[in-house]
Chain A
Amino acid sequence: MELLLLLGILALAYAMVSAKRMSALIAGFKFQSGLLFVLTGLEGLYVVAAIVLLLKVILIPFFLFRILKQIKVDEQVGFVVNPMLSLLAGLFLTYLSFIFARNLFSGGELGLIIALAVSFAVMGMGAFIMIFRLKALTQIIGLLVIENGIFLLASTLTGGLPLIVEMAVFLDVFVSVIILGIFVYRINALFTGIDVDQLKGLRG
């Protein structure tokens, strides 16, 4: 069951890396968070699971969809690297993550290694989305995907962070999405659209 969930999380990361439309990207994040919710629920961490459900499955995707609708941004994610190549990069990142996890935890059993490899791969693909997509919103989503990977890492390695730390991290994630959202509105008002390649006025 757990393995199935992990594969689902990985598959959704591939879907996001190769997504062409903004709404698909947000939906991908929503479903990935949904799987994380199920995973945490199965581990018996009910409080954390409830927060994941509330924050990452309901509130944040809702907020992101709202921005998408309000500023009437065009649906393209703005590729620097095309979807096919991005998917290949995603597969390569997965391979690297597997090697990294195997070397770092050389004594670990295969289940642990796979879980770690998936979490590192998800982080890698989140970073990939941040770097190789042009919209301001995609950078937010990339950051959130990295955070999903870290959440997975924490829950596999240490059985979740201590509750107070987990709460503080969730608070940060939520506040940062809100604040980044505010700045997306400001960028949209000051520049034409929300393509981040316009943000190059400050140099040297």
Chain B
Amino acid sequence: MLIRALGWITTIIYLIIIPLLFFFGSLDALSLYFALVILVVALAAALYSNEYIAADFESGLISKPKALAYYLLFNLFIVSMLVVVVVDNLGVMWAAIEMTTLISAFLVGFYNNKGAVEAAWKYIIICSAGIILALIGTILFSYALLGTAQVDANLIKVAFIFILVGYGTKAGLAPMHTWLPDAHSQAVSPASALLSGVLLKTSIYAIIRYSILVNSFLGPDFTGRLLMLFGLFSLAVAAGFILVQKDIKRLLAYSSIEHIGIIALGLGLGTPLSIYGALFHVFNHAAAKSLLFFGAGNIVKKYHTHDFAKIKGVLRTLPFTGTMILVGILALVGLPPFSIFFSEMIILLAAVLKGSYVVASLYLFFIVLIFAGIIYHFSQILFGPKPDNLIVTKEPASSKLAFLFLLGFICLLGVAMPGPFNRLLLSAVSLIRGM
């Protein structure tokens, strides 16, 4: 009872905070946009956690203090991510990003079994090591900007590489992504949604802040090339691992690497159109991926396995979740009329218009490959007869609401662009372009 009440209170808090966000006059468009993404996913995750954690508690999987600790960690995690996107000091931003790792480590190691503890350990060690490189970059930056007269271009470049590799580790850019599939597959499902949906984006936010700074000295070419390189490499790595994947949550994790790659590519191309696409993609991916992690959470709860080979007939066993996953998958792989289709196409169009045909064709190639891989794996588990040992039970209303909430965004943004949202994106784009 107490745990359900706590869940509802958390949900209501986020419901109230979202409109309040727009009264913060001091935030610029970029911070506002990322804060909005964080809060929307947080609201959905809180709504979904409600039933998920209560069920874990009732089945005796977790104790009562642990369920209470979950909500404490959940809220601290959201707060730490919000701090990242609202502070105007790059040093404090660094500390806040490290804090997000430390808090979410407990959500990754939540179930305290061998897999979860291993994932949590790798997560903290790899991300801390990565982010410590970002601290070196931060210090080099502050030194380079200290001298007022002439900024040393070499120093700025070296500093940015430290920043990109450091925050790129946390963002899940390949080849620094190795912690990501472990952590995302072992975490509590609502936390997986937060990790994939928004945590990765806070590091992208940090990278954007630094590229604005670097571009104002060196022009957009240097950061653009590096971002495109890492972006395409992430797409390639994700494509390879998605094709051979056996674990449903790991597949979704690799798909996050893919989408982070797409965002990095869009930012790297550097035209107003591509940056617009990349920022739009941040929101679309957050909504679609959270929805799918919720779905995967329900599947894992029902079937007690992550293994594709052992999951059959989801549409019959979990009719509602199954339908949502089917729609979510179609959205994730980039089919119209869902929003991801448009952001992916905007970036492709931007690449073609810029004349980067090699980049455009590589991008298209990997996306098609991933499309095939994801559709293949999910058609295996969604269709087919219901396993005999499972009974169809009614799915709780609050988790249905979480699905519908996210689905609403995915569909709405696919057919119409609300004016205020568009204006927010456009002013964030001009901020990134340094105008």
Query: CB within 8 Å of B: which residues of A?
Result: 104-105, 123, 127, 130, 136, 139, 143, 146-147, 150, 153-154, 157-158, 161-162, 164-165, 168-169, 171-172, 175-176, 179-180, 183, 186-187, 190-191, 196, 199-202, 204
Contact = CB atoms under 8 A, between A and B. Distances in A.
Contact of A172 (B95, B241, B246): B95
A104 B102 contact: no
Contact of A204 (B129, B158, B250): B250
B416 interface: no
Given A127-B129, A171-B95, A172-B95, A201 B139 contact: no
Interface in B112-149: 112-115, 117-122, 124-125, 128-129, 132, 135-136, 139-140, 142-143, 146
A199 B135 contact: no
A98 B48 CA distance: 54
- A-B complex: 10 closest residue pairs judged by Cβ atoms: A165-B91, A168-B95, A157-B143, A199-B118, A202-B182, A172-B98, A186-B117, A154-B139, A172-B95, A190-B114
Max chain A C-beta neighbours (<10 A), residue from B102, B115, B250? B102
Contact of B129 (A146, A154, A168, A200): A146
A109 to B, nearest CB: 15
Contacts of B244: 204
A202 B118 contact: yes
B203 interface: no
Contacts of A199: 118, 121-122
B10 interface: no
13 contacts: A143-B128, A150-B132, A158-B146, A161-B142, A168-B91, A169-B91, A176-B124, A179-B106, A179-B124, A187-B121, A190-B117, A196-B121, A200-B118
Given A161-B91, A191-B114, A202-B186, A179 B105 contact: yes
Given A130-B129, A157-B143, A123 B136 contact: yes
Nearest to A200: B118
Given A130-B125, A176-B124, A202-B115, 6 more contacts: A146-B129, A157-B142, A165-B89, A183-B105, A199-B122, A202-B182
A136 B245 CA distance: 29
Contact of B109 (A127, A139, A168, A183): A183
Nearest to A173: B98
Given A161-B142, A186-B112, A136 B135 contact: no
B241 A146 contact: no
Interface of B: 89, 91-92, 94-96, 98-99, 102, 105-106, 109, 112-115, 117-122, 124-125, 128-129, 132, 135-136, 139-140, 142-143, 146, 154-155, 158, 181-182, 185-186, 241, 244-247, 250
B144 to A, nearest CB: 10
Contact of B120 (A130, A171, A183, A201): A183
A190 B98 contact: no
Given A146-B129, A150-B139, A183-B121, A202 B185 contact: yes
B117 A165 contact: no
B140 A157 contact: yes
Chain A at the B interface: SS class: helix
B135 A169 contact: yes
Nearest to A106: B154
B178 to A, nearest CB: 10
A162 B146 CA distance: 13
A147 to B, nearest CB: 7
B154 A104 contact: yes
Contacts of A202: 115, 118-119, 122, 181-182, 185-186
B129 A201 contact: no
Instruction: Determine which residue in A127, A139, A183 has the highest number of CB atoms from chain B within 10 A of its CB, and name it.
Output: A183
A179 B102 contact: yes
Contact of B139 (A143, A161, A164, A187): A161
Contacts of B124: 176, 179-180, 183
A172 B143 contact: no
A136 B158 CA distance: 31
Contacts of A168: 91-92, 94-96
Contact of A143 (B114, B132, B247): B132
Contacts of A143: 125, 128-129, 132
A204 B246 contact: yes
Contacts of A171: 95
B117 A162 contact: no
B245 A204 contact: yes
A199 B124 CA distance: 14
Nearest to B182: A202
Contacts of B114: 190-191, 201
A136 B121 contact: yes
A204 B94 CA distance: 30
A191 B246 CA distance: 25
Contacts of A153: 136, 139
Nearest to B105: A179
A131 to B, nearest CB: 9
B125 A139 contact: yes
B254 to A, nearest CB: 9
Contacts of B91: 161-162, 164-165, 168-169
Contacts of B140: 157
Contacts of A127: 129
Contacts of A130: 125, 129
B121 A165 contact: no
Nearest to A136: B121
A190 B95 contact: no
